[in-house]
Structure 1
Amino acid sequence: MVRIVSAAMIGLVFGTGIVISGMANPAKVLNFFDVFGTWDPSLALVMASALAVTLAGYLFVFRRLAPLFGSQFHLPTKRDLDLPLIAGSAVFGIGWGIAGFCPGGAIPALGLGHTQPVLFVVTMTGGILVASWLKTVSTRRQSIA
């Protein structure tokens, strides 16, 4: 129960930060990508701030031998670049550039009462399901061969 409450609190802080910084507004994000028009550098400042907070958090957290609500840290071990990683990154970037939403901005934007984030989240969920299905099909084919 403590883990669920702590995860909910972390999500609430993250979502509040996204809304306060304006990153739940797709127009603000799209203006960042419009370098020859109405360029808005605030997304770069939000990213730099997030990196600074993350670095401080990692330095603080990893001084502990174990996490507060778990027996060990679960860190990624895979370091190779493969087709699913590259394709997923490309789809993420293209979707972000077209819609102005990424998952981190779309989820908090659901609470603003607009239809665009709902459409984005539904479409994103469909994409996740299709990717999961493709991975299952690929795994089955590899095990048969």
Structure 2
Amino acid sequence: MKSDLLFLEQESRGHDEQSMSQLEKLESELKMYSCLADSLEEQRTVIQKSLDQMKTAITSLCAEIMRESVTVTSDNIAHLTSILEERIRNLMIQANSMGDEQMELPPQKLLWANSDLLPELETVVETDRGKSPARSLKSA
């Protein structure tokens, strides 16, 4: 009977040691997965911030370029980006065409002080010493 009791105590200790070993292993895994979860949460926060900034930028571009108010979501962001890309490409083609047309015109004077673009709005400023050679625009 005593031998059975000793055997059961040893068996119980073995199970306890095995349980403690498994518990330590599980705690170690829990700690590792908790660190991984924290890291992934930080990455998610950074990505979400970037996504929010992108949504804001796309909303602003849609309002400015397409003159439309849109609600940008994660579901339609790719579609709106492709629409903006096409619209910007068309605007660039249009701007290049206008640039080509302007290149055919004779070059204009580059300095506003020497320019005759708006002669009806120019006036000579008079000072105590006489007329100043500087020009200014009349107020409308």
TM-score, normalising length: structure 2: 0.26
More strand per residue: 2
TM-score, normalising length: structure 1: 0.25
| Pair member with larger Rg | 2
